[in-house]
Structure 1
Amino acid sequence: MDNITVSEWNEIITKTLIPNIVILMIYVVLGTCGNILVLLVYFFQMKGSSDERYFIPILAVFDMVVTIYCGIFLIIQCFYTVTFTNNALCKTAQFFAGFTTFIPILLLLIIAVQRYLKVCMPNKPAMSLRVKRFALILTIVVSLVCAFPLPFVYGSIPFHSVTYGITGTNCGKLKDGQQIARAVYAIVIGFLAVAMVTTLIVLYSKIGCVVVRQFKLNKLNSDREEVRKSEKKIDNKEVSDIGQNGGIPTPVTSDADSNISNTSLVKNHQITLTGSKRRQKSNRRITHKLTIMFFVITLVFVLSYLPKVVLLIIEGLYDDFWEKVSNKERPGAFFIYEMFIINNIVNPFIYAFMDIKFRKKATVFLSRVLHCRF
């Protein structure tokens, strides 16, 4: 095609990215509706929930922000792939994209630490409300620090077409100048990413070992209880048989009354202990289920971000990577680049699938809304 303009070239690219635009719109709708549902359920149906779920509504807020902001920003980039001429807007948008993205990631690290303390150190004091609030403020501050260099790394840059022999303007990584700053930033962010993933793996590995050990112990105790009950049934049956076969009645004495009274006290004490143990067992089961749920959320985070990290590494090694991507390859590359948003939209579905209490409360809430009895 000869004498093509930048605007016409941009239109061609936009047409090839229509599937990506549709997918991003679905992401925005699902992420917004899902996370709003989580917030409404926690606000109206689960007020005063235990500290086990403290970070869930907070995570939902930032997940929703990331979904809306990054989803819309990526849609705009699809429409202005080679005509993004506003340098200030590009820098500002990249800063807030980084800032909003870092917060949920760091929250997952805090949640992992909380689960570790809860499961692996049950006898030590849990995270206090003050510590949780401090951790949240620290998360925001660290995210700001990590996002601060982004305006110096990104901007409106020339985007050359080998096919059409023309040059447009794209919002991407700067190629000229600040090379040392870009290299240092890439190394620091890469180190933090590796350190965080390693920390998550170590924490959840230790948590997993404790959970498996306690599951085995619970099964062993359950088997012993079954054997004890079975033996007790046999003993009771033998006593019953003796009575039916004309056993000699034993006169009741004051000592016997005392023994009966003592036996009754022991039984009552055993019932109290049994109730306490059941409560402890129930609390431990809830802790384990929520821990497994948070582990799944973290696993989804790693899997959804890994493709983008690989793409960013390739982009860093080859400055002209996106310029050499053909129109047929671009939708696939963009899809991989956009996959990180999945991390911010799936959490409500994970809660619904793995958190029985949330599922019940959400069902009640939706039923009230649908029947106008809210």
Structure 2
Amino acid sequence: MNLSAEDYNAYFVEKMTFNTVFTSLLLLLGLMGNSVVLYFYAFRMPRTEDRYFIPYLAVADILACAFGSVFSIVINFYRLVFVWDNLCKCLYFFTWCTSGLSAAMLLVIAINRYLKVCRPNGVQMAGKKRVGALLIVFVLSILTTLPLLFFMGQVNGYVVYNERRVNVTTCGLMTERNDGAAKLYFFIEFLLSLIIMICTVALYVPIGISIYKRFRSIRNSKRIRILLGITTSEVSEDAVSDSSTEARRVSSPQYKETLQQVLDTSVCQRKNSRRRRVRHNFTSMFVTIVLFYVLSYVPTFVLIIIPSKDPFGFWYSLDDASLNILVILKRAFIVNHVVNPFVYGYFDLHFRTIFKSSLSICKKPSSL
């Protein structure tokens, strides 16, 4: 009895059931979460400088999550009988393009944070410069992935199953074009991705050092105010009691005027401190996003490089558990586009407050 590609593909679809369900869940979470972020940051929240790039990043994540997840699910169902050459090219192009766009936007955000935190008095990315940066990353993302339309497509090959040779058709790097040009392109593409990743992480190192120094100076200023007996909301109850007693004991007009000036200065410092804490909170949020970006893309790169010499022999010789685990790791880049809304909800307290209030408004009619 001859085993056809359709028979082996049906067997393979069954093996990939867990991965298909997991990817579908990521697709649902990514589309819902990023759509909520896009709606609230674009229409319900003030467009501050700290939040400027978030709606654009949400759009990029929606597209990357949609194309990446749909591509993965389609491959799970038609991995060995993929006969649509143009569809293969388009899925590869849009998946890589949108993922690259999201990664490039993280680099732009890192540059913007670096200028604000480490070079506050220098040239800033504002106005037309921000629009120009978005246009540059958009155009470059398209240009760098255009060669995929030439290199990727329908691939004919064979796999050995139960000592039988099965002729299959899949979607991948076309063997007749697997020459020096293809190798050079993918080397440059991986190198560019690596450079973006390293630069993004490197920019947050001085940002983190600067934030640490500023928070340490804030803590030192709090200690000084406590020692001087200044009554602020940030001072402990004992210090407030001591300073109040001292104020009652010394009631001269000069003392009151001097104390008022000090208190006004303290209020101004508290406002500035609050602004810095909000800005630092946004920086911590973007640092977390970059961390997920690095952790999710590294296994993807590794599992693209390792099986490249013999993809058929590598992927189709694995047992069910190993296959599902390695495929999930290869597609871990999708997780990067899913987690961002949850990161926003954790770090951006204003977003969390407005989102909760919207949920409470939606619940009220049902409780009547």
Q: Same fold (TM over 0.5)?
A: yes
Deviation at 1:173, TM superposition (A): 1.6
Q: 1:156 aligns with which of 151, 154, 160?
A: 154
Deviation at 1:73, TM superposition (A): 1.6
Q: In the alignment, which residue of structure 2 is the partner of 1:112?
A: 110
Counterparts of 1:143 and 1:293, CA distance in 2: 24
Q: In the alignment, which residue of structure 1 is the partner of 2:232?
A: none
Q: Which stretch of the first structure deviates more once superposed, 342-351 or 320-329?
A: 320-329
In structure 2, the residue corresponding to 1:52 is in which secondary structure?
Answer: coil
Counterparts of 1:133 and 1:27, CA distance in 2: 31
One-letter amino acid of the counterpart of residue 65, structure 1: L
2:80 and 2:168 in contact (8 A); partners too: yes
- 1:233-270 superposed Cα distances (whole Å, 9 cap, x missing partner): 768858978x9xxxxxxxxxxxx9xx83x555444433
Pair 236,335 (structure 1): closer, same or farther in 2 beyond 3 Å:
closer
In structure 1, the residue corresponding to 2:50 is in which secondary structure?
Answer: helix
| Unmatched tracts of structure 1, length 5 or more | 244-255
Counterparts of 2:207 and 2:276, CA distance in 1: 13
Verify: 1:357 aligned to 2:350, yes or no: yes
Counterparts of 2:118 and 2:86, CA distance in 1: 48
One-letter amino acid of the counterpart of residue 171, structure 1: C
Deviation at 1:322, TM superposition (A): 4.1
Aligned pairs for 1:14-163 (under 5 A) are 14-46=13-45, 48-163=46-161
1:159 and 1:323 in contact (8 A); partners too: no
Q: In the alignment, which residue of structure 2 is the partner of 1:193?
A: 193
In structure 2, the residue corresponding to 1:171 is in which secondary structure?
Answer: strand
1:153 and 1:182 in contact (8 A); partners too: yes
One-letter amino acid of the counterpart of residue 133, structure 1: V
Verify: 1:272 aligned to 2:264, yes or no: yes
Deviation at 1:369, TM superposition (A): 3.0
In structure 2, the residue corresponding to 1:169 is in which secondary structure?
Answer: strand
In structure 2, the residue corresponding to 1:83 is in which secondary structure?
Answer: coil
| Unmatched tracts of structure 2, length 5 or more | 230-237
Q: Percent identity?
A: 28
Deviation at 1:159, TM superposition (A): 3.2
1:305 and 1:339 in contact (8 A); partners too: yes
Deviation at 1:281, TM superposition (A): 0.7
Deviation at 1:178, TM superposition (A): 4.6
In structure 2, the residue corresponding to 1:82 is in which secondary structure?
Answer: coil
- The root-mean-square deviation of aligned C-alpha atoms, in Å, is 2.4
Counterparts of 2:248 and 2:363, CA distance in 1: 59
Counterparts of 1:50 and 1:213, CA distance in 2: 25
Q: Which stretch of the first structure deviates more once superposed, 225-234 or 102-111?
A: 225-234
Pair 239,281 (structure 1): closer, same or farther in 2 beyond 3 Å:
closer
Deviation at 1:15, TM superposition (A): 0.5
Pair 235,302 (structure 1): closer, same or farther in 2 beyond 3 Å:
closer
Pair 307,235 (structure 1): closer, same or farther in 2 beyond 3 Å:
closer
Pair 233,73 (structure 1): closer, same or farther in 2 beyond 3 Å:
closer
Counterparts of 2:206 and 2:315, CA distance in 1: 45
Larger radius of gyration: 1
One-letter amino acid of the counterpart of residue 4, structure 1: L
Pair 322,269 (structure 1): closer, same or farther in 2 beyond 3 Å:
same
Q: In the alignment, which residue of structure 1 is the partner of 2:2?
A: 3
Pair 83,224 (structure 1): closer, same or farther in 2 beyond 3 Å:
same
Q: Which stretch of the first structure deviates more once superposed, 195-204 or 279-288?
A: 195-204
One-letter amino acid of the counterpart of residue 348, structure 1: P
Counterparts of 1:137 and 1:291, CA distance in 2: 23
Verify: 1:296 aligned to 2:288, yes or no: yes
- 1:116-146 superposed Cα distances (whole Å, 9 cap, x missing partner): 1111112235321211111111111010011
1:10 and 1:80 in contact (8 A); partners too: yes
TM-score of the superposition, structure 1-length normalised?
0.88
The structure showing larger relative contact order (alpha-carbon pairs under 8 Å, at least 6 residues apart) is: 1
2:159 and 2:312 in contact (8 A); partners too: no
In structure 1, the residue corresponding to 2:156 is in which secondary structure?
Answer: strand
Counterparts of 1:71 and 1:150, CA distance in 2: 18
Verify: 1:343 aligned to 2:364, yes or no: no
In structure 1, the residue corresponding to 2:165 is in which secondary structure?
Answer: coil
Q: In the alignment, which residue of structure 2 is the partner of 1:251?
A: none
TM-score of the superposition, structure 2-length normalised?
0.89
Q: Which stretch of the first structure deviates more once superposed, 20-29 or 312-321?
A: 312-321
2:297 and 2:332 in contact (8 A); partners too: yes
Counterparts of 1:124 and 1:264, CA distance in 2: 40
In structure 2, the residue corresponding to 1:165 is in which secondary structure?
Answer: strand
